Amino acid sequence: MSTPTPEEAAPYGSGPTKSAAQAPTAIKRVRTHHLRELKERGERFSMLTAYEQHAAQTFDEAGIEVLLVGDSASNNVYGNETSLPVTVDELIPLTRAVSRSVQRALVVGDLPFGSYQASPEQAYLTAVRFMKEGGAHAIKLEGGVEMAPQIERLTRGGIPVMAHIGFTPQSEHTLGGYRVQGRGDTASRVLADALAVQEAGAFAVVMEMVPGDVAAQVTKELAIPTIGIGAGPECDGQVLVWQDAFGLRTGRMARFVKQYADLHGVLLEAARAFDADVKGGTFPGPDHTF
């Protein structure tokens, strides 16, 4: 039997006296099994999107467990209106930047629309690129029952999969727009999707825009952790797109977004101050001149 590494021997640090709030930060390097252990211990974890170096470093330093290089880069980095146009070739460099920039967080690369739905083999070849070229530690894909063959193929091939059910933005046009999924009779469909992705081997599942009581039931029934976005407070983890949560993006926000900062306001003020200094001849001053 091999000797456990210090990380394996004491993934949460030593001693039973740590409070629930402290324990997750003691994980030295977040692995997929840690998320499940946190669920088993009734402890929550957090996930944010990240698409580049400095945000990734900052979120990692803050103790965010999972950084998702989301296909939401399409409408937060590349200037598109939706997540549909972004390509594998556009997401891989962002994934590489994030994976190079973190010391602790689990980095998940998001497979974009059209890069995995055709077949399990297509999904595997795309996911391998995210792992080899992007340095991702896991991948995320959208879909429930219908994606079970893809999830099985990936996990069999050594690629950890985070599933994404409920409202799946890549299927916006099939679902008839941004709509809550799982209301009334369709709640059983969300549960069936959740059970199918778990059975296929997913290590966690994102639930987007699902009624809180349905998400709570799914969270209770699954052994793998659930991560909510617009799915109420009972999920094991929560995720938000960082430009929404920290106020870099302006305009209409989904109801599930809580805004923690006004980065747009801060940047606007800073840019205006710089502009005024340049035009007024006060920058550069003697301190900035060789």
User: Of the residues 121, 172, 208, 221, which is catalytic?
Assistant: 208
> Torsions phi, psi of 279, nearest 5?
-70, -30
Of the candidate spans 10-18, 21-29, 35-43, 65-73, the one that interacts with ligand KIV by CB under 6 A turns out to be: 65-73
Q: Does 110 bind ligand KIV (CB under 6 A)?
A: yes
Please name the amino acid found at residue 91: L
Does residue 221 carry a catalytic annotation? no
Residue 80 in tokens: 């598109």
Of the candidate spans 58-66, 70-78, 120-128, 189-197, the one that interacts with ligand KIV by CB under 6 A turns out to be: 70-78
**Closest distance of CB 110 from ligand KIV, Å:** 5
Q: Which bin fits 79, alpha (ψ -120 to 50), beta or left (φ > 0)?
A: left
> What number of chain residues touch ligand KIV (CB under 6 A)?
11
Contact with ligand KIV (CB under 6 A) among 24, 43, 72, 112: 72
Q: How far apart are CA 168 and CA 144, in angstroms?
A: 10
Contact with ligand KIV (CB under 6 A) among 30, 231, 239, 245: 239
Q: How far apart are CA 42 and CA 32, in angstroms?
A: 16
Q: How far apart are CA 91 and CA 109, in angstroms?
A: 8
CA nearest neighbour of 129 among 170, 78, 95, 161 = 95
The answer to whether 226 touches 235, Cβ cutoff 8 Å, is: yes
Residues 196-235 that bind ligand KIV (CB under 6 A): 206, 229
**Closest distance of CB 268 from ligand KIV, Å:** 24
Q: Which residues in 104-119 are b (16+ Cβ under 10 Å) and which e?
A: ebbbbbbbbbebbbee
Of the candidate spans 35-43, 52-60, 63-71, 96-104, the one that interacts with ligand KIV by CB under 6 A turns out to be: 63-71
Site for ligand KIV, rule CB under 6 A: 49, 68, 70-72, 110, 164, 206, 229, 239, 241
List residues with catalytic annotation. Answer: 208
